[in-house]
Amino acid sequence: MFATNIQTLNRARAACLACAVGLVGCNQSGYKLAPVRGTVTIDGKLIKSGKVMFSPVAHGDNLNPGKPAFGMLRLDGSYVLTTYADNDGAVVGKHWVTVINSEDNMPRGVPEFARVTAPEQRTVLGGMDNQIDIELTREDVLKYRLDDN
């Protein structure tokens, strides 16, 4: 029985080691990142809560364009993107941008939404700080919103 417990413990250690090696490898992407910051407005009104998600667009034979980046919207309407580590940016290339609403208190005149995708892709350029302001209209929200119902 003692030998069986040692074998089980050794298997558990091996499994933990394999997971740890796998997790370390997750942070070592083959994708170039560049810093991204900006603001989100709808009809010129700053959106001060929620999140922004930049989803890389697949191109050519590469069906895995990389991990999406997220940024929390701050009280001044700004965001800074994170992919693997705080504020490390987004994968270089084209992205679809989604604004995710976390509250129901939008500025006056802005329709409620759970998520809205910007109608045009945005490009993150390598080797520089990217300032990407997302400027949406009421019509964009009504046309491109996705409700979580």
For position 59, what pLDDT does the model report?
A: 81
CA 113 vs CA 44, 77, 140: distances in Å: 17, 17, 11
Regarding whether 37 and 49 lie in a shared domain, the answer is yes
Regarding whether 127 and 92 lie in a shared domain, the answer is yes
Regarding whether 126 and 58 lie in a shared domain, the answer is yes
Regarding whether 66 and 18 lie in a shared domain, the answer is no
Structure token pair of residue 85:
């580590």
Regarding whether 16 and 69 lie in a shared domain, the answer is no
Regarding whether 44 and 8 lie in a shared domain, the answer is no
Tens digits of pLDDT across the chain (149 residues): 545 555 544 454 544 444 444 444 444 468 999 999 999 999 999 999 999 999 999 988 878 889 999 999 999 999 999 999 999 999 999 999 999 998 777 888 888 899 999 999 999 999 999 999 999 999 999 998 876 55
Regarding whether 25 and 97 lie in a shared domain, the answer is no
Regarding whether 42 and 25 lie in a shared domain, the answer is no
Regarding whether 40 and 19 lie in a shared domain, the answer is no
Q: 124: closest CA among 50, 67, 45?
A: 67
For position 61, what pLDDT does the model report?
A: 80
Quote the Cα angle for 138-146-149, to 5°: 125
137: domain CATH number is 2.60.40.1120
Place of tokens 């992919």: 83
Quick one: DSSP state of residue 16?
Answer: H
Structure token pair of residue 101:
């609403």
Count of CB atoms within 10 A of residue 37's CB? 16
For position 13, what pLDDT does the model report?
A: 52
For position 133, what pLDDT does the model report?
A: 98
Regarding whether 37 and 17 lie in a shared domain, the answer is no
Regarding whether 58 and 1 lie in a shared domain, the answer is no
As for how many domains the chain has, the answer is 2
Q: What's the domain range around 8?
A: 1-29
At 125 the three-state DSSP class reads coil
For position 102, what pLDDT does the model report?
A: 81
Regarding whether 119 and 66 lie in a shared domain, the answer is yes
Count of CB atoms within 10 A of residue 110's CB? 18
